[in-house]
């Protein structure tokens, strides 16, 4: 009996969710035949078989969360073998994982809140986490009425919906960003009134980031928290935030400084089509050196975007609109694009961030 373990999928990923098995117990398979599709880090990835043989056991079911290095498949007989996996790991059912987290969160919450033993017992009986209850008693004491009110609200809201797939990956990345990054944000406006009709806004934003990285390379970098150091990238691989019903995807547009407008538009179109069809190649979701969020296509003026490590910067563009501004001392109606730049202050100084934003604005304010 040989066990194949979930291989390292790259980018520091620790786990994956089983989506679909392509084999069944008893099947005889060949080397590189697809075994299973797993979802992780915003991509659905096919895992091929490292060897030929007969499937004796599938070690997980669709919906299970599997750790990297955990048992995935057991083979019942010999055959040609490429790699059976060498990393030791563990597998956890999705429900068990959620329960463990809930229990840990509950313990942390109980240590912070103020409540009598009777109220704590009531909360346990009603399934209410005291950490989410707003206290109405004196000095922040949670009362029985507070717990009952929270229980009623939870009942109306319906059952807990565990985050899965894309939303789960997003939650994990945002948690890491909150715990690790020292964020700071600068805001400014670009006067894009000189743009001719039909200007490709996304391409202009990509071009502006390339110009800004050339002027201030320190924002096109990765920060290593363990070593307290940074790596400056010569090539600009731009992550583009794409909003979907399933969650946030950030595919990568590679080497933007060495591509013309036509090639950039072609790349953006392919990227969007792949995301919507959920066929974006896994390698195109990895390796971004800086990120763009053009949330203004939906709504909003300014934002405080989140820097996802190891990157150190993200530029966001709000909705461009006509506004009354001063031009040569007189009021004038101009088309203004609001910009927000968040940077990791551990690796980037305020001056560097300001110079980057100024260079981006200068490029955006060109007519062509």
The CATH label, of 3.90.1150.10, 3.30.559.10, 1.20.20.10, 1.10.260.40, for the domain at 166-364 is 3.30.559.10
Q: Are 46 and 32 in contact (CB under 8 A)?
A: no
The H or E element that residue 144 is part of is helix 144-157
d(CA 32, CA 47): 9
- The burial of 74, by beta-carbon neighbours within 10 Å (0-12 exposed, 13-18 middle, 19 or more buried), is given as middle
- Residues 6+ away with beta carbon under 8 Å from 361: 188, 189, 190, 208, 339
The CATH label, of 3.40.30.10, 3.30.420.60, 1.20.58.410, 4.10.320.10, for the domain at 107-157 is 4.10.320.10
d(CA 119, CA 227): 47
Grade residue 296 by pLDDT with cuts at 50, 70 and 90: confident
Name 332's bridge partners.
325
Quick one: how far is CA 38 from the chain centroid? 17
Statement: residue 79 has pLDDT above 80: no
CATH number for region 2-92: 2.40.50.100
With residues binned 3-state (H G I as helix, E B as strand, rest as coil), the percentages for the chain, rounded to 5, are 35, 30, 35
Q: Kindly report the average pLDDT of the chain as a whole number.
A: 85
Classify 193 as helix, strand or coil.
coil
144-157 and 117-126 helices, crossing angle to 10° = 10
Residue ranges of the chain that CATH labels 3.30.559.10: 166-364
Backbone angles phi, psi at 162, to 5 degrees: -60, 140
pLDDT value for 38: 86
Grade residue 283 by pLDDT with cuts at 50, 70 and 90: confident
Statement: residue 97 has pLDDT above 50: no
Count of residues making up the chain? 368
d(CA 352, CA 368): 26
Give the residue-averaged pLDDT of 237-248. Answer: 84
Statement: residue 96 has pLDDT above 70: no
Give the pLDDT confidence of 168-225 residue by residue, as tens digits. Answer: 878 888 888 888 999 999 999 999 999 999 999 999 999 999 999 999 999 999 999 8
In the sheet with 91-92, reading across from the earlier edge strand, the strands are 43-48, 34-40, 15-21, 65-67, 91-92
Grade residue 338 by pLDDT with cuts at 50, 70 and 90: very high
Grade residue 346 by pLDDT with cuts at 50, 70 and 90: very high
Give the residue-averaged pLDDT of 267-287. Answer: 84
Q: Of the given ranges (82-96, 231-245, 286-300, 329-343), which has the lowest mean pLDDT?
A: 82-96
Residue ranges of the chain that CATH labels 4.10.320.10: 107-157
pLDDT value for 46: 83
pLDDT value for 11: 56
Residue ranges of the chain that CATH labels 2.40.50.100: 2-92
Give the residue-averaged pLDDT of 126-135. Answer: 88
Closest CA to 45 of 19, 68, 70, 74: 19
Give the pLDDT confidence of 17-73 residue by residue, as tens digits. Answer: 888 999 999 999 998 899 998 876 556 778 899 989 999 999 999 988 888 889 999
- State how beta strands 229-232 and 221-224 pair: antiparallel
- State how beta strands 141-142 and 15-21 pair: unpaired
- State how beta strands 313-317 and 290-293 pair: parallel
For residues 80 and 156, which has the higher predicted lDDT (pLDDT)? 156
Statement: residue 78 has pLDDT above 60: no
End-to-end alpha-carbon separation of the chain, Å? 65
Grade residue 110 by pLDDT with cuts at 50, 70 and 90: very low
201-215 and 261-277 helices, crossing angle to 10° = 110
How crowded is residue 87: how many other Cβ atoms within 10 Å of its Cβ?
Answer: 12
Grade residue 345 by pLDDT with cuts at 50, 70 and 90: very high
Q: Are 312 and 344 in contact (CB under 8 A)?
A: yes
User: Measuring CA to CA, how many Å separate 319 from each of 151, 247, 261, 316?
Assistant: 40, 21, 22, 10
pLDDT value for 12: 58
């Amino acid at each position: 009996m040989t066990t194949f373990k979930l291989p390292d999928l790259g980018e520091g990923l620790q786990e994956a969710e089983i989506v679909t098995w392509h084999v069944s117990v008893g099947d005889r398979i060949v080397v590189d035949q697809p075994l299973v599709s797993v979802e992780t880090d915003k991509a659905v990835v096919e895992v091929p078989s490292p060897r030929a043989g007969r499937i004796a056991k599938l070690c997980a079911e669709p919906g299970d969360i599997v750790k990297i290095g955990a048992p995935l498949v057991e083979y019942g007989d010999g055959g040609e073998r490429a790699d059976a996996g060498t990393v030791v790991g563990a597998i956890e059912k999705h429900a068990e994982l959620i329960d463990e987290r809930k229990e840990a969160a509950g313990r942390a919450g109980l240590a912070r809140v103020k409540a009598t033993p009777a109220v704590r017992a009531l909360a346990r009986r009603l399934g209410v986490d005291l950490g989410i209850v707003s206290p109405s008693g004196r000095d922040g004491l949670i009362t029985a009425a507070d717990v009952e009110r929270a229980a009623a609200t939870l009942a109306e809201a319906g059952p807990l919906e565990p985050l899965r797939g894309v939303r789960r990956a997003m939650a994990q990345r945002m948690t890491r960003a909150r715990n690790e990054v020292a964020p700071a944000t600068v805001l400014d406006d670009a006067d894009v009134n000189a743009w001719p009709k039909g200007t490709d806004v996304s391409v202009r934003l990509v071009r502006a980031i390339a110009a800004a990285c050339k002027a201030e390379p320190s924002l096109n970098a990765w920060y290593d928290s363990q070593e307290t150091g940074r790596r400056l990238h010569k090539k600009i691989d731009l992550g583009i935030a794409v909003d979907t019903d399933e969650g946030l995807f950030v595919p990568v547009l590679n080497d933007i400084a060495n591509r013309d407008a036509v090639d950039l538009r072609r790349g953006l179109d392919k990227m969007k089509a792949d995301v919507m069809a959920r066929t974006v190649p896994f390698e195109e979701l990895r390796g971004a050196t800086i990120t763009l969020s053009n949330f203004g296509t939906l709504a909003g003026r300014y934002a405080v975007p989140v820097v996802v490590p190891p990157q150190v910067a993200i530029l966001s563009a709000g909705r461009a609109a006509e506004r009354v501004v001063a031009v040569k001392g007189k009021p004038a109606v101009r088309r203004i694009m609001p910009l927000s730049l968040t940077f990791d202050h551990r690796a980037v100084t305020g001056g560097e961030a300001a110079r980057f934003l100024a260079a981006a604005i200068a490029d955006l304010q060109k007519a062509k």
